[in-house]
Copies of this chain bind each other. A is one copy, B any other.
Amino acid sequence: MEALYEKMDVEKLEIIKKELQERYDCFKKKGLKLDMSRGKPGADQLDLSMGLFDCNTGVKCYTTLDGTDCRNYGIVDGIPEAKKLFADIMEVDASEVIVGGNSSINMMFDTLAYGMTHGMAESYMPWGKLPKVRFLCPSPGYDRHFAICEFFGMEMITIPMKIDGPDMDMVEELAGRDEYIKGIWCVPKYSNPQGITYSDEIVDRLARMKTAARDFKIMWDNAYIVHHLYDEHDNLKNILSTCKEAGNPDRVLMFISTSKITFPGAGVAAMAASENNIKYFKKRLLKQTIGYDKLNQLRHVLFLKDMDNIHAHMEKHAAILRPKFKTVLDILEKELGGKNIAWWSKPRGGYFISLDTMPGCAKKVVEKAAEAGLVVTPAGATFPYGKDPDDRNIRIAPTFPPLHELEKAIELLCICVQLVSVEKVLAARKD
């Protein structure tokens, strides 16, 4: 379908361009200074977890139910009650959980570092000794995943995202024939940045597919596992049990953290996997550390309590976030709706709204916004090597700014989208 501007004559386009330019200049004069580049919770969200500090009273605050003094050394894979809580969140058994430090990305990084120096449990040799290691990267996706692959010199293969998950025909075809493909990155629920939740069929196919590599791993970063925005939740099929049923119990490694449940700087992360995998990862862990911060684990158990309480807590987050997401969507609709120059996601959870411009416009939009004082995630960041092949995708992170700043920011972004689109159409006319 033609974009609105493509139906207009040059004269009309020049008028629209002039109007947009005036609005843009007006913003520029205001001297905005806004950073929307990362998916950070706002301070009001952090205040929801101040109760964590009240857990530090009495003996209960440092002793586990089985009597372990959390202040002292010991327990490398997490205190029992934290294992139980994370098992409940991830819908796995406590024996399938390792509770870690404050960062799930650190656990993912360490996992691939292990792969490079030793391989996985099933590997014939360390990945670092292979001529090539390749990773499948559904995109748009999470830039920090791609950065880890790049750091370890892994070759990234972009997999297009469809409406219900990665293009599985392509995934099956590639993973099925290339033994150097060692895994795939997935943010399976309220995905970063599109807010997509994988369908049951995608989960089934990931669990069942034939892989040329016997040590192929699904890196299942379930960062938004309980991060719903509305009463109606997306449902994600349990991939660990699906993998078990498919006869591939060791294929998936699941990761979550409380970063966006409690404190991003001081939460608790965990991984879950088959007992075989847990046993293998503990081999490294036992050499790497004497144990993670058990006091923080216990503090989180005392504060988060159980699933009912976690859902009630997450509803408080949602109450803060809903108006922000609504504001962004309303302004996008008002400014860009029906023009066929931009398309955006309407997620039911997670931390992002994904905005696609006309091809070849995203970089220019981001630059223009930056000139007027609005920093968004760099265009291209959601693709391997920071290169969006169509230069279309922009990640909007609406959570951190207060509402009145968010309004201004998104209006400015929309002006930039329109201005760059008009300029693109005009340039094509002049060719």
Contact = CB atoms under 8 A, between A and B. Distances in A.
A264 interface: yes
Given A53-B61, A117-B128, A128-B128, A102 B264 contact: no
Nearest to A269: B289
Contacts of A291: 103, 265
Contacts of A287: 109, 144, 147-148, 151
A73 to B, nearest CB: 4
Interface in A89-114: 101-103, 105-106, 109-110, 113
B71 A265 contact: yes
Most buried by B among A46, A103, A152, A293: A293
B69 A46 contact: yes
A152 to B, nearest CB: 6
A101 B293 contact: yes
A278 interface: no
Contacts of A263: 71-72, 295
B73 A38 contact: yes
A292 interface: yes
A74 interface: yes
A13 B345 CA distance: 87
Interface magnitude class on chain A? 35 or more
Contacts of A128: 116-117, 126, 128-129
A53 B144 CA distance: 33
Pairs of residues from A and B, 7 with the lowest C-beta to C-beta distance, nearest first:
A53-B56, A266-B295, A71-B263, A73-B264, A106-B289, A46-B71, A151-B287
Contacts of A296: 266, 293, 296
Contact of A288 (B73, B105, B117, B126): B105
A153 to B, nearest CB: 8
Interface string A253-293: 00000010001111000000000000000001001111111
Contacts of A102: 101, 292-293
Nearest to A400: B72
30 contacts: A38-B73, A40-B72, A40-B73, A40-B74, A46-B69, A46-B71, A46-B72, A49-B71, A53-B57, A56-B56, A69-B265, A70-B265, A70-B266, A71-B265, A72-B263, A73-B259, A102-B292, A102-B293, A103-B290, A105-B290, A109-B288, A116-B117, A117-B152, A128-B129, A144-B290, A147-B287, A264-B290, A265-B291, A265-B294, A266-B294
A103 B289 contact: yes
B293 A265 contact: yes
A307 interface: no
Contacts of A41: 72
Contacts of A73: 38, 40, 259, 264-265
A113 B126 CA distance: 13
Given A71-B264, A102-B292, A148-B287, 10 more contacts: A71-B266, A73-B264, A101-B101, A101-B102, A110-B288, A116-B128, A117-B152, A144-B290, A147-B287, A151-B287
